[in-house]
Amino acid sequence: MLAVVVDHAAPNHLALRDVAPPSPAPSEALVRAAAFSLNRGEIQRAMNAKAESRPGWDIAGTVEKAAADGSGPAVGTRVVGLAAIRAWAELVAVPTDALATLPVDVSFTQAATLPVAGLTALHAVERATGLIGRKVLVTGASGGVGLFACQLAHLAGARVAGLVRDAKHAAMVEGAGAERAIISIDGTAAKDFGPYRLIVESVGSGVLENVVGMLAPDGVCVSFGATAGADIPYNLWSLIGTGGASLYGLGIFNALKRESAAIGLERLVYLVATQRLRPHVAVEASWTEVGQVAQQLLDRRMAGKAVLRIDSHDQ
């Protein structure tokens, strides 16, 4: 079968190669992939990975072989899933507790955006309680996680502000449920709309340093990324002086040890099917273009998600 592998001689270090098909564990279903999405974190890892490594987390497709232990969906079921590795392939072994069934009105392209970005946004928003009528700040709001977080916080009843670097993304962020799109490189302009019950933060560096001080009492800043850098000079008194405020580090694979991916994916799929959650797909292309699209994502030349189709699958 074909799969995306790390090849440092190939353009952007990614190429399609023939590999051996997977041998699923008893609790894994074998899924024939139709589409997958790219996440900046996995691409960055792939750039520095060993040759022949197999990247990939998000997958949508059809069950080709059900799990031997009887768990999970039957053969022929349309599914979305999250694999720890090796999801960018024609056939993928996926744990059944990381699979959710797709209704016919949710496309493979839509579904492929949900596993990492959707679950990260869901877990981030749900770190805060009592969001109805309270303010939420989403940094990096035009990214895949950011656009989902804006929508989910809005669905939870919050007043959402979306922080973006470029004014051209303001309308998209407001369309995703933000009451206000804030244009700022360092985040300081977000202070006027605060204080915030929840800050969903992915930029790091000076932005994290600046926005943590905008928390309301008992507010939480959920940090899940650092696209601008992980090192910050920080005066803790801006956090300590805000009664009960906290900074929480979210790693999605650790969070899924407490609640399986299948549970969150089922919820997200329901929201997409009922048109309450809308995936923003900036690029949809053939997986033969994986290297080029990966570079576009790394270069921040797109807002929202990039989804690649497996050409051998009947769409």
pLDDT in tens, 13-23: 999 999 999 99
pLDDT of residue 75: 98
Strand-pairing partners, residue 196, are 215
Question: Taking residues 221-231, what's their average pLDDT?
Answer: 89
Multiple choice CATH, 2-102+280-309, 3.30.450.20, 3.40.50.300, 3.30.390.30, 3.90.180.10: 3.90.180.10
- For residue 276, CA distances in Å to 21, 79, 293 come to 37, 20, 28
At 253, is the pLDDT very low, low, confident or very high (cuts 50, 70, 90)?
very high
| H-only helix segments in the chain | 40-47, 108-112, 119-125, 144-155, 170-175, 205-211, 237-240, 252-255, 261-273, 290-298
pLDDT of residue 226: 87
pLDDT at 172 over 70: yes
The whole-angstrom separation of Cα 98 and Cα 244 is: 34
Strand-pairing partners, residue 143, are 304
Please tell me what DSSP assigns to residue 193. G
Q: How many CB atoms lie within 10 A of CB 68?
A: 12
pLDDT of residue 234: 73
pLDDT in tens, 131-169: 999 999 999 999 999 999 999 999 999 999 999 999 999
Alpha carbon 45 to its chain centroid, in Å, reads 16
Termini Cα distance of the chain: 18
Alpha carbon 150 to its chain centroid, in Å, reads 13
**Using CA of residue 219, residue 131, residue 257, residue 21, what is the dihedral sign?**
negative
Q: Domain 118-253 is in which class? A: alpha beta
**In the chain, where does the domain assigned CATH 3.90.180.10 lie?**
2-102+280-309, 118-253
Query: Following DSSP, what letter does each residue of 266-304 receive, concatenated?
Result: HHHHHHHHTTSS---EEEEEEGGGHHHHHHHHHTT--SB
Mean pLDDT of the chain: 94
Q: What percent of the chain has pLDDT over 70?
A: 99
Contact 201, 215 (CB under 8 A): no
pLDDT at 314 over 80: no
Select the more confidently predicted residue: 307 or 311: 307
Locate 149 and state its tokens: 């977080």
pLDDT in tens, 13-54: 999 999 999 999 999 999 999 999 999 989 988 888 999 999
Question: Taking residues 226-254, what's their average pLDDT?
Answer: 85
pLDDT at 315 over 70: no
pLDDT in tens, 86-98: 999 999 999 999 9
Alpha carbon 68 to its chain centroid, in Å, reads 30
Question: Taking residues 173-202, what's their average pLDDT?
Answer: 97
The whole-angstrom separation of Cα 136 and Cα 158 is: 6
Task: Say which residues have a Cβ less than 8 Å from residue 62's Cβ, sequence separation at least 6.
Answer: 31, 32, 34, 76, 77, 78, 79, 313
The whole-angstrom separation of Cα 119 and Cα 252 is: 7
pLDDT at 235 over 80: no
Alpha carbon 4 to its chain centroid, in Å, reads 20
The whole-angstrom separation of Cα 307 and Cα 189 is: 33
pLDDT of residue 47: 86
pLDDT of residue 313: 54
Question: Taking residues 178-199, what's their average pLDDT?
Answer: 97
pLDDT at 290 over 70: yes
Q: What are phi and psi of 191, to 5 degrees?
A: -65, -35
pLDDT at 205 over 80: yes
Burial class (CB in 10 A: 0-12, 13-18, 19+), 233: exposed
